[in-house]
Structure 1
């Protein structure tokens, strides 16, 4: 709890120092938190796929996401290539978690989740997260000079809030690696 209080104080200081637009709902926290939620749902995706013919890499599904993002980006005033770059980071982060969990479960079969979730119930949640992420990409904070520092703090807070282990913390770093545009 003390770590969370310290992180909150640091973030608050950065937001105040960066100016009012950074403290608005269009700041980096919501984008980072949504990315963290997407990292967390990778556990369910891994549990649904583990031991089945469904591969971790799903180029057809990934391309559907990239095409959808690229098509929707201009309507939000976003560069399609930037939006796809951001979503590529989300997908790579998700696959990092899946691979890590597969390795853990291969080494410790008793840890494999049971019962397994149905992937068809997880995908709509991912789609909702993707919609939120795409909307949050419109944040002007992404192009500010202070974006890298504020992103680092936001990711640190998300790590604490979501109680991530090392695997998920690393995936969050991957997921947020394409946040800043400047």
Structure 2
């Protein structure tokens, strides 16, 4: 089947992974430069881990493409949510807050997967990238990242009610990344992060 032209506003999974460090550096530079907003130091590592989790979505999408399994995996999602709810008190987090946060991460992750799968269907093929094993390699990465995110969410929790919290997030996720999909996924992943709605 001849290759169809790729969508110019989206990158392939391989380019996402190669640019993961660049994305994290963008966030780091952002918080150095935007002193007027006085973003707390606890926000940068949290956003970096959220971005890292979204990078893993590229690998998950490849696995789903090869296996022809659906993106929606209710059993796995329920396991993740049950795990974070159980672990939340260890990080002095409200279990309901942890559940809400990780539900947003799951939805953002699926957004990336659905977009890639649609692109690859349009193009007639997926990237010829190495395929990490979903169960043996990808999920252990996600499990470790889950612990990091719980700690970082706990560290940032006192600032979630700050009146400037929505501005900090808006500034961070709208920093030009030349990657509309990644930006949209970051918006979804952080949509309920700020409690202040004024």
Tell me the TM-score normalised to structure 2 length: 0.76
Partner Cα separation in structure 1 for residue 123 and residue 179 of structure 2: 17
1:6-31 residue CA offsets vs partner (Å, 9 max, x unmatched): 8456523322xx6xxx24xxx21111
Trace 1:1-182 onto structure 2 (pairs within 5 A).
7-8=30-31, 10-15=33-38, 22-23=40-41, 27-120=42-135, 121-138=137-154, 139=156, 140-157=158-175, 160=177, 165-182=179-196
- Partner secondary structure for residue 55 of structure 1: coil
Q: Is residue 7–residue 156 contact of structure 1 (8 Å, CA) maintained in 2?
A: no
Q: Which has the higher helix share?
A: 1
- Partner secondary structure for residue 70 of structure 1: helix
**What is the deviation of 1:78?**
1.3
Does the C-alpha gap of structure 1 residues 58 and 6 become closer, same or farther in structure 2, counting only changes over 3 Å? closer
1:35-86 residue CA offsets vs partner (Å, 9 max, x unmatched): 1111111000001111414221111110111111111112222111111011
- Partner secondary structure for residue 147 of structure 2: helix
- Partner secondary structure for residue 60 of structure 1: helix
Unaligned 5+ runs, structure 1: none
1:125-168 residue CA offsets vs partner (Å, 9 max, x unmatched): 111111111111112222212111112223345x63xxx62112
**What is the deviation of 1:179?**
1.3
More relative contact order in 1 or in 2 (CA 8 Å, sep 6+)?
1
Number of paired residues? 168
Give the aligned partner of residue 12 of structure 2.
Answer: none
Unaligned 5+ runs, structure 2: 1-21
Tell me the TM-score normalised to structure 1 length: 0.82
Does the C-alpha gap of structure 1 residues 113 and 176 become closer, same or farther in structure 2, counting only changes over 3 Å? farther
